[in-house]
């Protein structure tokens, strides 16, 4: 895992590598971050390349589908005695309860923040998949290695942007994206009234939390591997 993060940092330090990283690895988790946040807030979002379409009103169908998925996760985890699965289903249900009961304005704010915020969470989750039990499908097929590379690149690329922005607010990517509209930070600032400091601090705080969780998971996995020898 440290090697994957080191490789991601090397790519991020290069202008060409950073462009490749952002275009082919980070962009998809970013748009999924918008979409997943929207789904859990009750909106029928459609993720795409560089832009996610989000309607202005909630959809009862989306709320029902997400709730059904959570229920299925809880039931499956309970029947198979996998605590992590049913606990995850219950936690997601709690998130949905909050997301679908807040005002539309607050939900739209969360959806905008959920671009880079969701990308860091998704990147962390992909990295954590590297620690699947030996003999599992992800281990046997080698997919966990691909998830590790994508997750590390996503987390490093996104987190680095906001660590730099926290030190220098001029690094915040304000502005307008051709064919898309205002950037996410510009929307948070102009449409929802967040200050530059609030934007940088909140993203950087989430980035720190993600990195800490990933580091703890890695340390735990290393300790477990050494203990099994």
For residue 9, is it within any domain? yes
Q: Any idea of the CA torsion for 55, 56, 60, 64, to the nearest 10 degrees? A: 60
Q: How confident is the model at residue 205, as a pLDDT? A: 97
For a pLDDT cut of 90, what percent of the chain falls above it? 76
Per-residue pLDDT reduced to its tens digit, 81-137: 888 889 999 999 999 999 999 999 999 999 999 999 999 999 999 999 998 888 888
At residue 228 the predicted structure's pLDDT band, cuts being 50, 70 and 90, is low
Q: How confident is the model at residue 116, as a pLDDT? A: 96
Instruction: Compute φ and ψ for 42, nearest 5 degrees.
Output: 95, 15
Q: How confident is the model at residue 72, as a pLDDT? A: 95
For a pLDDT cut of 70, what percent of the chain falls above it? 99
* Residues 26 and 43: beta-carbon distance below 8 Å: no
Q: State the total domains in the chain.
A: 1
Helix (H, G, I), strand (E, B) or coil at 100: helix
- H or E stretch covering 20: helix 15-21
For residue 197, is it within any domain? yes
| Dihedral sign from CA coordinates of 69, 72, 78, 81 | negative
For residue 63, is it within any domain? no
Q: With 90 as the cut, is the pLDDT of residue 22 above it? A: no
At residue 229 the predicted structure's pLDDT band, cuts being 50, 70 and 90, is low
Is-above-0.85 flag for pTM?
Answer: yes
For residue 54, is it within any domain? no
Q: With 80 as the cut, is the pLDDT of residue 47 above it? A: yes
The pair of structure tokens assigned to 147 is 């998830």
For residue 173, is it within any domain? yes
User: CB count, 10 Å around CB of 183?
Assistant: 17
The pair of structure tokens assigned to 177 is 């994206």
For residue 53, is it within any domain? no
Q: How confident is the model at residue 137, as a pLDDT? A: 84
Mean pLDDT of 161-166: 94
Q: How confident is the model at residue 106, as a pLDDT? A: 96
Cα separation of 149 and 140, whole Å? Answer: 17
For residue 149, is it within any domain? yes
Q: In the chain, count of helices (H) and strands (E)?
A: 10, 4
Which residue segment(s) compose the domain that 207 sits in?
A: 2-40+102-227
Q: How many residues does the chain have?
A: 229
Cα separation of 51 and 87, whole Å? Answer: 32
The pair of structure tokens assigned to 106 is 């607050």
For residue 111, is it within any domain? yes
């Amino acid at each position: 895992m440290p090697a994957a993060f080191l490789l991601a940092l090397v790519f991020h330090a290069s202008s060409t590598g950073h462009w490749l990283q952002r275009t082919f690895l980070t962009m998809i988790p970013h748009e999924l971050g918008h979409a997943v946040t929207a789904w859990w807030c009750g909106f029928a979002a459609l993720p795409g390349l560089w832009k996610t379409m989000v309607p202005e009103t909630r959809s009862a169908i989306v709320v029902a589908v997400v709730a059904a998925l959570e229920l299925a996760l809880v039931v499956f985890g309970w029947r198979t005695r996998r605590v992590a699965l049913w606990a995850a289903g219950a936690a997601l249900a709690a998130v949905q309860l909050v997301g679908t009961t807040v005002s539309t304005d607050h939900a739209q704010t969360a959806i905008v923040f959920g671009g880079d915020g969701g990308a860091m969470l998704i990147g962390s989750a992909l990295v954590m998949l590297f620690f699947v039990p030996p003999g599992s499908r992800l281990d046997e097929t080698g997919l966990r290695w691909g998830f590790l590379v994508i997750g590390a690149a996503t987390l490093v690329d996104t987190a680095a942007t906001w660590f730099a922005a926290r030190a220098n607010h001029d690094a915040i990517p304000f502005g307008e994206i051709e064919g898309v509209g205002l950037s996410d930070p510009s929307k948070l600032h102009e449409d929802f009234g967040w200050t530059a400091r609030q934007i940088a601090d909140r993203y950087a705080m989430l980035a720190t939390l993600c990195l800490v969780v990933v580091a703890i998971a890695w340390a735990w996995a290393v300790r477990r591997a050494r203990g099994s020898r």
